[in-house]
Amino acid sequence: MPDVVKAYYTKFRRKAEKSSGLDGLATFAALRMSGKGLDGDVQMDASEGDPMTIDGGPRNEAMQDDLDMEVDYNSIRQAHAYITSGICFSLGLRYAGTGNEDARTAIFDMVLEIQKLRDGNDSISLALRPDTPTLDMCLGSAAISLAMVMAGTGDLTVFRLLKTLRWKCDMDVKYGNHMAYASAIGLLFLGGGSCTLGNEPSDVAALIVSMFPRVPIFTHDNRYHLQALPHLYALAVKERKVEAIDVDSNEKVLLPMMVSDYVL
């Protein structure tokens, strides 16, 4: 996340907390938004809410001058949402079909954060919320990214989250938003749990084309959304199953099996 976007986004949160009487949470919000302990970029002073260096040194005057300038608030909100969902999409492609716990947790937390912006009615959510089309597109992309990592696992916690995202159904929710959440659920149970997604270069290319976050507005929208492209995900599908084969007849046989965890 670029420093300028992160700093302004934290500034918006700080102002919202002051206006809502939650000034005591400013320190926690500032530290979390600055990413202290993760990237070591910017830390917020608990008393002033201004950017400081991590080691408690003098304030970065250039950054402070930037923060004092007039900016387009909605552009900062949009940039933060787009960058967040882009990070999730990159993680989804990198760890597609692996079920990696770190990637799952990171994307899961980001989906919850974007969902709170969409559904929350508190002053903080209202202050940080971008326009609805941007928010819906970013939330759908992040949900698909989470499903790509957990493809074919049928993870119950992820399934519950996707059902919660899909539960909202009103005039503001477009056809493409439902399509994104339905696609995510389909990836989660890919092949009834017998298939997953690959993450080889050719698989990633197919996933980028098929899962690119350009969803249709209505069912016959072919201007920006080509309906044939989402089906290319099939090129990245890999079978993941165990079959018992008779060595003499080369036929499948029914045998009882027991699976246990082990460490190589």
Categorize the per-residue pLDDT at 198 as very low, low, confident or very high, splitting at 50, 70 and 90.
very high
pLDDT at residue 188 in the model: 94
Helix axis angle, 3-19 to 61-68, nearest 10°: 60
Q: Which two tokens stand for residue 105?
A: 């947790």
pLDDT in tens, 130-149: 888 888 889 999 999 999 99
**Which of the pair, 28 or 227, is modelled with greater confidence?**
227
Beta-carbon contacts of 70 under 8 Å, excluding residues fewer than 6 positions away, are none
Q: Is the pTM of this model over 0.85?
A: no
pLDDT in tens, 45-78: 333 344 433 344 444 545 554 555 667 788 888 9
Residue 120: pLDDT over 60: yes
**Which of the pair, 12 or 27, is modelled with greater confidence?**
12
Categorize the per-residue pLDDT at 189 as very low, low, confident or very high, splitting at 50, 70 and 90.
very high
Buried/exposed 127-148: b ≥16 CB within 10 Å, e otherwise: bbbbeeebbbbbbbbbbbbbbb
**Which of the pair, 15 or 263, is modelled with greater confidence?**
15
Query: Where would I find the H helices in 120-252?
Result: 123-128, 132-149, 156-167, 175-188, 201-211
Q: Which two tokens stand for residue 95?
A: 């760890």
| CA 173 vs CA 133, 136, 215: distances in Å | 9, 8, 12
The helix (H) or strand (E) run that includes residue 33 is helix 26-34
Q: Which amino acid is at 169?
A: C
pLDDT at residue 109 in the model: 94
The helix (H) or strand (E) run that includes residue 118 is helix 101-119
How much of the chain is helix, strand and coil, in % rounded to 5? 55, 5, 40
CB atoms near residue 238 (< 10 Å): 17
pLDDT at residue 66 in the model: 53
Categorize the per-residue pLDDT at 222 as very low, low, confident or very high, splitting at 50, 70 and 90.
confident
CB 147 within 8 A of CB 108: no
Query: Where would I find the H helices in 150-230?
Result: 156-167, 175-188, 201-211
What is the C-alpha separation between 40 and 9, in angstroms, rounded?
A: 17
Specify the DSSP class assigned to residue 229. Answer: G
Q: Is 192 left (phi over 0), alpha (psi -120 to 50) or beta?
A: left
Residue 119 sits at φ, ψ, to 5 deg, of: -100, -20
pLDDT at residue 170 in the model: 67
Q: Which amino acid is at 33?
A: M
